[in-house]
Chains A and B, each alone.
Chain A
Amino acid sequence: MAWMARVRNLWRRRKIDVEIEEELRAHIEMAVEDGVREGMSEKEARRAARVRFGNPVAMKERTVGADAALSMESLWRDIKFALRQLKKSPGFAIAAVLTLALGIGGVTAVFSVVYAVLLRPLPYPEANHLAVLHEAMEHLGGMANLAAPDVLVYQRESRAFTAVAGFIDQGYDVTGAGEPFRAQAERVSAQMFPVLGVPPLLGRAFTQKEDENSAAVTLLSYALWKERFGGSPNVVGRTVDLDLRPYTIIGVMPRGFETPTGLGGIQPHDLWVPLSLTPAEKAAEADDLDYGAVARLKPGVTMTQALQDARRVLKMIQAKVPEVHLSIGLRGLREETVRSARPLLRTLLGAVLLILLIACANLANLLLVRAAGRRREFGVRMALGAARKTMLRQLLIESLLLSAMGGAAGLGLAAAAVHWATGVLPDSLPRLGEIAIHWPVALLAAGLVCATGVACGMAPALASAKTDVLDSLREGGQTTGQGRSQHRLRSTLVVAEMALAMLLLIGAGLLLRSFARMMETNPGFQPERTVTAYLALPKQSYPTQEQVDDFFRDLQERLKVLPGVEEVGFASDIPVIGRSSSRLFAAQGYVRKPDEGFSITSNYLTAGDYFQALRIPLIEGRHFDASDDLPGAPLVVMISQSLAKQYFAGRDSVGMHIKVGPNYQYPMPEMRVVGVVGDVSDNPVDAKQDVEMYEPVSQAAADLGPAAAMIGVVGDFHAVVRTTGDPQALEEEFRRTVHSADPTLAVTDLQTMNEILSSTEAPRRFNTWVLTSFAGIALALALLGIYGVLAYSVTERTREIAIRMALGATRADVERRTLRHALVLGASGVGLGLAAAAGLTRYLASLLYQVKPLDGLTLTGAVAVLLACAALAGWLPARRAAGVDPMEALRSE
């Protein structure tokens, strides 16, 4: 393309200068040669040539100008022209740029989040060969992790993997490295590092021998190394105390290294120690499915083959425990890391696609209206001799200019949104730290929206360029046949926009209703004026349960005398954070239905005034008291109301008995129910809830009868302190009191119960907020769209309206007609939107709480809002139509 060549010339100006100089010099030299040949002296000939030639510098400049500036000058002229055109209709320009910016910015920001969380490869080499093993027990349903001894069996027996690595989270109190703190640590097999394919940055990984011999060695995370050891390379070989036992630091893992954790996902940890299963763990019951196992598939082995291999190994395990029915599952690690976040991300992506579609439709509409309005301008310019090509070029430049401005604004918006999102996104999203603008998608979104802009900017110009010049002038800018088909296209676009906005509105409405439902839900306790903290007593300093119990009794006394403190209690778990452990239990006299699985309950071990501190209401019977802690006291439990209702239906549950275990025939001690308390939300209030059972911690071991050894010493507790004053003010006092009882004890997660409650509400708050703002944007765009179409249609039909009025139509008639037009468009959009919602809202089901996907109230509300918006958008044009003066309108023709 010659035009391109000229632009290129700009960057080659120096070279061109030299070439032109040489060309001109050659000209003079040839003239001199000819002069000499005709008999002049060389001096004379040169002077003659120079005189004829004129000022060589000026000439060079003119020639260069012909080369390069020509094109740039005209390009610049076109840009200036386009800017002038846009300035003449600022409403259009602002609307178009905003539409572009919202479309591009929204898509880019959300996709960047989605990409970082969902699509970005795991930070391990050949991560698609990594898989996580899951066992499930028939009666538990759902996939859990493995029983500890099974990890060893898979390590030994499976053939499909290069290696299998076990892991389990464990907290340690770290001393001897600054202020004591509780480390989020993980016990991992020696094979973990080869399986993940990540070697330590410093030092070495665990050896098989260290794993087997329970060696006291540890690997530090990069962050911990920097924070507590100043990043010193001499750290290898030093020791650090974990739960007061000295561990030798043998290495440091690279920055950002993460390991698989719990159920699903990978996470950074503070440090790693060898898994080294204890004899107790190795002997544990097969139903304690807490130990994770990650494995690397051998080259060439498929997931299906690996699963078959795992099933073969499972048969060997099953042969030893015929009474439980185990099954095995295998999931890619990547699949595992994104499972929990998927519904939210899918919703966001869907919402953003809708916004993008609405933005495209809106932009198309704006440009179509503008182009139709400029038909006369084109006609005049063509009549005055403007080449079609020139006009198209100018329109293209105008469209590109709009796109560039919109694109720039969009990218700015995306950058701001991404920056903001990393601050407010719920922590449950994996790999939050890696979120950054994803440029390929930013460009893709920009490309898509700009292509729409250019296509819609050019198409009408092409169409009007084809029409006869005289036609467009004769019409006087009013539209006839072609105008009508364009009008239909615009109406269709508006209806589509309304339908899409309706979908978003319904989605947002459903989430808002869910959120309201969640806020209304009583968590079963009163979170106000309550402080909680997690305390884990190291087994080395508190080797017996009596010592633990004494410590907490002492701490309770110390806390109780603090000013304002009302009640102090302790429990192995607190509500709503969803970390509660569960138990198989059997209720006296309860007969399971044939297809019913084992009975499962959340279990809490309590000490002190736990129920009083949280204000969990006592419904029947009594609380635990000091007599229950006496040696040899009869075994007692408290149960939640729904456990009583479900398992002791129709009978007085106080005085009934409960056993831990799969059925009542099991040789376990009976525990007497002494009290029934209100239900609490074990998990975040919008999640599925269990029933609850409470045991005094002093009886925890005895409750398990023959399996008492399994529980060992229970030393970690959540403290709950209720005060009459400001709970936040109590926090420092609390920490000081704990340290007065034991200066080496780390106080973790010190916060108010209200903070805990609202942190569990954060994810829902976030997605509700996002979808609601999306719906707002969509509604605004749709409103603009419908207003644009009506306003334009009133303008182009001024004459028709005038004739109607001249023939006797009243102003009210005209106003009603225009409003009706708006409502017809709105209603069509509402109908389409409802039909789409009927098919699509069920994909939202997993995000809803106590609201059906086709919630009547939400649907009615959305219809009302949308129709109201349509009426609002139609109102102004209707007023204008009614204000047409028939005489003036007709005379001006």
Chain B
Amino acid sequence: MAKSDLQGSLDLLVLKTLAQRGRLHGYGMALHIQRASDELLRVEEGSLYPALHRMEQSGWIASEWALTATGRRAKYYRLTTAGQKRLAAAEQEFDELVRGVRAVLTAAYSG
């Protein structure tokens, strides 16, 4: 059964972003999600940082401090092995959710 809460979706987005982009700081992730979704999805910073810290505590992502291109200290995150597994599971759950929701919507139209 898929976990279908919004928090789950944010986790998925963060994990996927890190899988695609490797090392990234929180601001970079917010930007990336916004751009990659054609400005459809805007990540709230108020949700992003607690989520990042929660995922780090769960061992899905790891962090370290490093300098940005402009020489600013920022906290960079990367995916751990556990995070890669979690990502695969989350992707599957999300697919199921989408399929399920779509099925319900389709049934509603035809009925």
Binding site for B on A (CB under 8 A): 2, 5-6, 9, 19-20, 22-24, 26-27, 29-31, 33-34, 52-54, 58-59, 62-67, 70-71
User: Could you give 10 example pairs across A and B, Cβ below 8 Å?
Assistant: A22-B73, A23-B75, A26-B73, A27-B26, A30-B72, A30-B74, A34-B31, A54-B45, A59-B45, A66-B57
Q: For the complex, what is the distance from the CA of A27 to the CA of B31, rounded to whole Å?
A: 11
> Is there an interface contact between B51 and A26, defined as CB atoms closer than 8 Å?
no
For residue A23, which residues in chain B have a CB less than 8 angstroms away from its CB? Answer: 26, 49, 74-75
For residue B50, which residues in chain A have a CB less than 8 angstroms away from its CB? Answer: 62-63, 65-66
- With most chain A CB atoms within 10 A of its CB, the pick from B50, B52, B59, B73 is B50
B70 at the interface (CB under 8 A from A): yes
Binding site for A on B (CB under 8 A): 25-27, 31, 45-46, 49-54, 57-59, 68, 70, 72-75
Q: For the complex, what is the distance from the CA of A71 to the CA of B73, rounded to whole Å?
A: 29
> Is there an interface contact between A66 and B54, defined as CB atoms closer than 8 Å?
yes
Give, as a whole number of angstroms, the nearest-CB distance from A311 to chain B. Answer: 72
Q: For the complex, what is the distance from the CA of A700 to the CA of B69, rounded to whole Å?
A: 112
For residue B51, which residues in chain A have a CB less than 8 angstroms away from its CB? Answer: 66
> Is there an interface contact between B27 and A67, defined as CB atoms closer than 8 Å?
no
> Is there an interface contact between B53 and A67, defined as CB atoms closer than 8 Å?
yes
Q: For the complex, what is the distance from the CA of A348 to the CA of B108, rounded to whole Å?
A: 80
> Is there an interface contact between B59 and A20, defined as CB atoms closer than 8 Å?
no
For the complex with contacts A26-B25, A27-B49, A33-B70, 9 further pairs of A-B residues with Cβ separation under 8 Å are A2-B57, A23-B26, A26-B73, A30-B72, A58-B46, A59-B45, A59-B49, A66-B50, A67-B53
- With most chain A CB atoms within 10 A of its CB, the pick from B31, B53, B54, B68 is B53
Taking a contact as CB atoms closer than 8 A, the residue among B26, B54, B70 that contacts A70 in the complex is B54
List the A residue with the shortest CB-CB distance to B68: A30
> Is there an interface contact between A26 and B53, defined as CB atoms closer than 8 Å?
no
List the B residue with the shortest CB-CB distance to A30: B27
Identify whether the interface residues of B are mostly helix, strand, loop, or mixed: helix
Q: For the complex, what is the distance from the CA of A286 to the CA of B15, rounded to whole Å?
A: 95
Q: For the complex, what is the distance from the CA of A257 to the CA of B25, rounded to whole Å?
A: 70
> Is there an interface contact between A2 and B46, defined as CB atoms closer than 8 Å?
no
For residue A2, which residues in chain B have a CB less than 8 angstroms away from its CB? Answer: 57-59
What 4 pairs across the A-B complex have the smallest Cβ distances? A66-B50, A66-B53, A2-B59, A66-B54
Known: A66-B54, A67-B53. A26 touches B74 (CB 8 A): yes
Q: For the complex, what is the distance from the CA of A23 to the CA of B53, rounded to whole Å?
A: 11
List the B residue with the shortest CB-CB distance to A385: B1
For residue B31, which residues in chain A have a CB less than 8 angstroms away from its CB? Answer: 34
> Is there an interface contact between A53 and B45, defined as CB atoms closer than 8 Å?
yes
Give, as a whole number of angstroms, the nearest-CB distance from A74 to chain B. Answer: 12
> Is there an interface contact between A59 and B46, defined as CB atoms closer than 8 Å?
yes
For residue B53, which residues in chain A have a CB less than 8 angstroms away from its CB? Answer: 20, 63-64, 66-67
For residue A34, which residues in chain B have a CB less than 8 angstroms away from its CB? Answer: 31
List the B residue with the shortest CB-CB distance to A24: B49
Q: For the complex, what is the distance from the CA of A27 to the CA of B27, rounded to whole Å?
A: 5
> Is there an interface contact between A31 and B59, defined as CB atoms closer than 8 Å?
no
For residue A58, which residues in chain B have a CB less than 8 angstroms away from its CB? Answer: 46
Taking a contact as CB atoms closer than 8 A, the residue among B46, B70, B75 that contacts A62 in the complex is B46
List the A residue with the shortest CB-CB distance to B1: A385
For residue A24, which residues in chain B have a CB less than 8 angstroms away from its CB? Answer: 45, 49
Q: For the complex, what is the distance from the CA of A38 to the CA of B73, rounded to whole Å?
A: 22
For residue A6, which residues in chain B have a CB less than 8 angstroms away from its CB? Answer: 57
Q: For the complex, what is the distance from the CA of A6 to the CA of B54, rounded to whole Å?
A: 10
> Is there an interface contact between B45 and A71, defined as CB atoms closer than 8 Å?
no
> Is there an interface contact between B46 and A54, defined as CB atoms closer than 8 Å?
yes
For residue B49, which residues in chain A have a CB less than 8 angstroms away from its CB? Answer: 20, 23-24, 27, 59, 62-63, 66
Give, as a whole number of angstroms, the nearest-CB distance from A28 to chain B. Answer: 9
Q: For the complex, what is the distance from the CA of A700 to the CA of B31, rounded to whole Å?
A: 115
> Is there an interface contact between B75 and A5, defined as CB atoms closer than 8 Å?
no
Q: For the complex, what is the distance from the CA of A22 to the CA of B51, rounded to whole Å?
A: 17
For residue B68, which residues in chain A have a CB less than 8 angstroms away from its CB? Answer: 26, 30
List the A residue with the shortest CB-CB distance to B26: A27
For residue A63, which residues in chain B have a CB less than 8 angstroms away from its CB? Answer: 49-50, 52-53
Taking a contact as CB atoms closer than 8 A, the residue among A20, A29, A52, A70 that contacts B45 in the complex is A52
Give, as a whole number of angstroms, the nearest-CB distance from A346 to chain B. Answer: 53
Q: For the complex, what is the distance from the CA of A279 to the CA of B26, rounded to whole Å?
A: 99
For residue A22, which residues in chain B have a CB less than 8 angstroms away from its CB? Answer: 73, 75
Give, as a whole number of angstroms, the nearest-CB distance from A486 to chain B. Answer: 33
For residue B54, which residues in chain A have a CB less than 8 angstroms away from its CB? Answer: 66-67, 70
For residue B70, which residues in chain A have a CB less than 8 angstroms away from its CB? Answer: 33
Q: For the complex, what is the distance from the CA of A5 to the CA of B49, rounded to whole Å?
A: 18
Q: For the complex, what is the distance from the CA of A53 to the CA of B30, rounded to whole Å?
A: 12
Give, as a whole number of angstroms, the nearest-CB distance from B41 to chain A. Answer: 15
For residue B73, which residues in chain A have a CB less than 8 angstroms away from its CB? Answer: 22, 26
List the B residue with the shortest CB-CB distance to A55: B46
List the A residue with the shortest CB-CB distance to B51: A66
Give, as a whole number of angstroms, the nearest-CB distance from A389 to chain B. Answer: 13
Give, as a whole number of angstroms, the nearest-CB distance from A9 to chain B. Answer: 8
Q: For the complex, what is the distance from the CA of A71 to the CA of B25, rounded to whole Å?
A: 24
For residue A29, which residues in chain B have a CB less than 8 angstroms away from its CB? Answer: 72
Q: For the complex, what is the distance from the CA of A66 to the CA of B14, rounded to whole Å?
A: 16
> Is there an interface contact between A26 and B27, defined as CB atoms closer than 8 Å?
yes
For residue A70, which residues in chain B have a CB less than 8 angstroms away from its CB? Answer: 54, 57
Q: For the complex, what is the distance from the CA of A62 to the CA of B48, rounded to whole Å?
A: 10
Q: For the complex, what is the distance from the CA of A23 to the CA of B52, rounded to whole Å?
A: 11
Give, as a whole number of angstroms, the nearest-CB distance from B29 to chain A. Answer: 10
List the A residue with the shortest CB-CB distance to B28: A30
Q: For the complex, what is the distance from the CA of A67 to the CA of B53, rounded to whole Å?
A: 6
Q: For the complex, what is the distance from the CA of A29 to the CA of B58, rounded to whole Å?
A: 28
